Chains A and B, each alone.
Chain A
Amino acid sequence: MLKVEGIHTQYGRIKVLSDVSFEINPGEIVALIGTNGAGKSTFLKTISGLVRPTLGRITFMDQEIQGVAPEKIVLAGIAHVPEGRHVFARQTVLTNLQIGAFIRKDVDEIQKDIERYFKIFPILGERRNQLAGTLSGGEQQMLAIARGLMARPKLLLLDEPSMGLAPFLVNEIFRIIGQLHDQGIAIVLVEQNVKKALKITRRAYVMELGKILYHGDSKELIADDRVRKSYLGET
């Protein structure tokens, strides 16, 4: 579905990604793990068009999308839920969801989707007319995910969805990610909570210093000594 081949990305003269290749199939959920500053967010931004790669090719459903503007990539079917949530703080919860469906014109279906996400995330329904900036971190994260889904993407890029959340909310977010996967949406999951990320996925990539160190079966990675030492804090 999405195929990334040998991309290089840099900010000015600073090289962030070098020769990164990655692949995800329809309906699959794949984890991308690595320490802070490894380049995971930049990788997602390169897919969604916020950052242009200097080299390499990205193909999404037989379409080359490297260097294409983000607003066109959403149209192709990729939604990116950015790190740090980035909800529109001065707009209501409802407006945030409506803007998530900006590329769609099927007004009735949009309304149905909004009601659907209010069922999945009841707290958002209760606060539909509240400004998004007044929500708690966990609620903002739910809003950011729901807003991304409003575009009805075929591929969802989730950047650190559990960051800064209380443990019970982390479980809740992972439960919802599981649900989305069951609905058949392909998901790239960037997570600091490596254990949970490897448990929910079947395949994972490990990124360090802008390179893919190794990738493979999530179960094997959990058992891998290097992963246990570096990311699970075990000795």
Chain B
Amino acid sequence: MLTEVLIVGVMVGAIYSLVTIGYSMVYGILKLMNFAHGDVYIFGTLVCYTLLAKFHLNPFLAVLAAAVSGGLLAALVELIAYRRLRAAQHRMISMITALGAAYVIQNSSELRWGNQVLSFPSLFPNQSVVFFGIQISVTHIFTLCVAVVVIVGFNLFLKYHKAGKAILCVSEDIPTSSLMGIPINRTISVVYFLGGVFGVLGGVLYSASYNAISISMGFRGTIIAFTAAVIGGIGSLGGALIGGMILGLSENLISVYVSSSYKDPITFLILISILLIRPTGILGSTESGKV
């Protein structure tokens, strides 16, 4: 029993990590709470739903198209709602436009898809395999694999690719990055695009493993991404991973061993306790190293 709960927890944690990476990266670059993050990924997941359930597209192509649509929407939100406000005196101003963007996306999606829970088709064969006497569903294995491949791949991209290094430099110091010749606006668009893509991938994997999707999951997604990012240390990629895992595991353990209605209170209790001990999150850096 415990092993199975742990396996599901790790899978959900991997999905949460995917959703959190985009959110945390955007914060790392612009220090902006992107309230539209969850709604962007629900939009993309709903696009995937339509492509699969209505047009019976090949699952791989459907997920790809949905991820790109989410990425483009995220980049569009940055272009319309945040870019002109980047130089604004107060960060509160772009937080308000972020909330506005969230409502626009949420309500437009609701016009198209309604607010009921839709049944999301499975992406992987509905079977399970037995490993060392433990039964694991194929969906869980695939979900975990996809999440791990994307996260590891993205990490390698940041570390070794020129454009990835440029993203890290921009998140550290925008003016100095521009002096190096890094195109700032384009880099920020790419970060938003990737954030949207990873969010949609997370959303699709989540909906496919629970066979359900609804608009209301968007706001919850934003909250999860925020909580996981803050627990792990906002702006840090490793932090997003750890935060997502802690949330995924704790939610599942609490739902099974305590009660699912205690899921959120205990999750936030964890958030508060971690912040009391380490206000910058587990991997969060204090602004040291600056001379």
Contacts and interface: CB of A to CB of B under 8 A. Distances in A.
Interface of A: 48-50, 69-71, 74-75, 79-80, 82, 84-86, 88-91, 95, 98-100, 102-103, 131, 133-134, 137, 140, 147, 151, 164
B180 interface: yes
B289 A89 contact: yes
A89 B172 contact: yes
B7 interface: no
B179 interface: yes
Contact of A48 (B179, B182, B184): B179
12 contacts: A50-B179, A71-B181, A71-B184, A82-B176, A84-B291, A86-B175, A99-B177, A100-B180, A102-B180, A103-B180, A140-B291, A151-B181
Contact of A85 (B169, B178, B291): B291
A88 B179 contact: no
B283 to A, nearest CB: 12
A99 B169 contact: yes
A151 B173 CA distance: 18
Interface of B: 162, 165-166, 168-169, 172-173, 175-184, 285, 288-291
Given A89-B289, A89-B290, A98-B162, 14 more contacts: A69-B178, A70-B181, A75-B181, A82-B176, A84-B291, A90-B285, A91-B165, A99-B165, A99-B166, A99-B169, A100-B180, A102-B182, A103-B180, A151-B180
Contacts of A102: 162, 166, 180-182
B183 A86 contact: no
A85 B289 CA distance: 12
Contacts of B162: 98, 102
A90 B289 contact: yes
Contacts of B169: 88, 91, 99
Contact of B165 (A49, A79, A98): A98
Contacts of A137: 291
- What 5 A-B pairs have minimum CB-CB distances, sorted nearest first? A133-B289, A103-B181, A74-B181, A89-B289, A70-B178
Most buried by A among B166, B169, B178: B178
A79 B168 CA distance: 21
A173 B278 CA distance: 40
Contact of B172 (A50, A91, A98, A134): A91
A95 B165 contact: yes
Given A86-B173, A90-B172, A91-B165, A71 B182 contact: yes
B183 A71 contact: yes
A85 B175 CA distance: 12
B220 to A, nearest CB: 32
Contacts of A164: 291
Contacts of B182: 71, 99, 102
Contact of B180 (A89, A90, A99, A134): A99
B172 A71 contact: no
Contacts of A79: 179
Given A89-B290, A133-B288, A137-B291, A74 B165 contact: no
A190 B288 CA distance: 27
Contacts of A49: 178
Contacts of A69: 178
B158 to A, nearest CB: 11
A10 to B, nearest CB: 15
A90 B184 contact: no
B179 A82 contact: yes
B184 to A, nearest CB: 7
